[in-house]
């Protein structure tokens, strides 16, 4: 029996990222559909946080995906984390926050955790999630949070090379002081592939693969 999975994105650039992972990891009897609302991210950038009206729109998208028959719903934007959690009680589908598996793994690896982002609005929700997981595990966590200034503006203007260079430099510097680094935005994942082994002395975690591995496990359990 074919089962529905919905991906809710705040940028169309995330569709191919998750499609590649879905083709690799998910059972073939899963039917995937994508929902994209770029206005959510525009609001978050403009306000520097997730306004209540924006959170409501995200919750409405989750409800719509549930109405469309989705059994699993993955929201791929870390900035929307709290709205994702609020939506769970309103639908029958399993609603997944993209950065939860990443935060859990970071806590398992070490106590000195670096969090890196190109937008302040994404940094805070991910950092708060890691602290919550650490508290639940009874573990003292030392966070070092960094916003890479200029990187987001560079990639938006089409200068991907500048974005990658800025993020890469920040990763190299941060890796000297922590046990593990968490990428608060899925869009930074590509930068890790450009780093040499010497530039990655500690694990660097990104949310897409870890979230999809978690989703694949849930799909297998539901067969």
Which range among 45-54, 76-85, 136-145, 203-212 shows the weakest confidence by mean pLDDT?
45-54
Residues 110 and 79 both lie in one domain: no
* Model pLDDT, residue 128: 92
Residues 115 and 82 both lie in one domain: no
Residues 93 and 110 both lie in one domain: no
* Model pLDDT, residue 1: 56
Average pLDDT over residues 139-166: 92
Residues 83 and 106 both lie in one domain: no
Residues 89 and 105 both lie in one domain: no
Residues 125 and 36 both lie in one domain: no
Residues 202 and 113 both lie in one domain: yes
- Rounded Cα–Cα distance for residues 108 and 111 (Å): 8
Residues 80 and 105 both lie in one domain: no
Domain that holds residue 72: 3-98+209-221
DSSP string for 26-47: S-TTEEEEEEE-HHHHHHHHHH
Residues 114 and 128 both lie in one domain: yes
Higher pLDDT, 28 or 96: 96
Q: What is the CATH number of the domain that holds 181?
A: 3.40.50.1860
Residues 37 and 94 both lie in one domain: yes
How many domains does the chain fold into? 2
pTM: 0.92
Residues 111 and 175 both lie in one domain: yes
**Hey, is 136 helix, strand or coil?**
helix
Residues 184 and 93 both lie in one domain: no
- In angstroms, the first-to-last Cα distance of the chain is 9
Q: In Å, what is the CA distance from 24 to each residue of 33, 91, 223?
A: 16, 28, 18
């Amino acid at each position: 029996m074919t089962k529905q999975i919905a991906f809710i994105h705040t940028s169309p650039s995330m569709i191919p990222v998750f499609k590649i992972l879905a083709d690799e990891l998910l059972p073939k009897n899963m039917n995937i559909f994508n929902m994209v609302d770029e206005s959510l991210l525009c609001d978050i950038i403009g306000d520097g946080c997730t306004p209540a009206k924006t959170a409501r729109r995200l919750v409405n998208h989750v409800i719509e995906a549930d109405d469309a028959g989705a059994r699993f719903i993955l929201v791929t934007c870390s900035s929307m984390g709290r709205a994702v959690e609020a939506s769970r009680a309103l639908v029958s589908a399993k609603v997944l926050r993209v950065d939860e598996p990443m935060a859990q793994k970071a806590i398992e690896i070490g106590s000195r955790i670096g969090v890196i982002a190109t937008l302040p609005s994404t940094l805070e929700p991910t950092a708060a999630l890691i602290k919550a997981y650490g508290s639940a595990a009874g573990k003292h966590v030392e966070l070092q949070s960094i916003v890479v200034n200029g990187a987001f503006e560079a990639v938006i203007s089409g200068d991907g090379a500048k974005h990658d260079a800025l993020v890469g430099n920040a990763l190299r510097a941060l890796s000297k002081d922590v046990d593990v680094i968490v990428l608060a935005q899925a869009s930074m994942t590509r930068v890790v592939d450009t780093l040499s082994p010497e530039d990655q002395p500690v694990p660097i975690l990104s949310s897409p693969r870890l979230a999809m591995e978690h989703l694949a496990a849930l799909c297998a359990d539901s067969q």
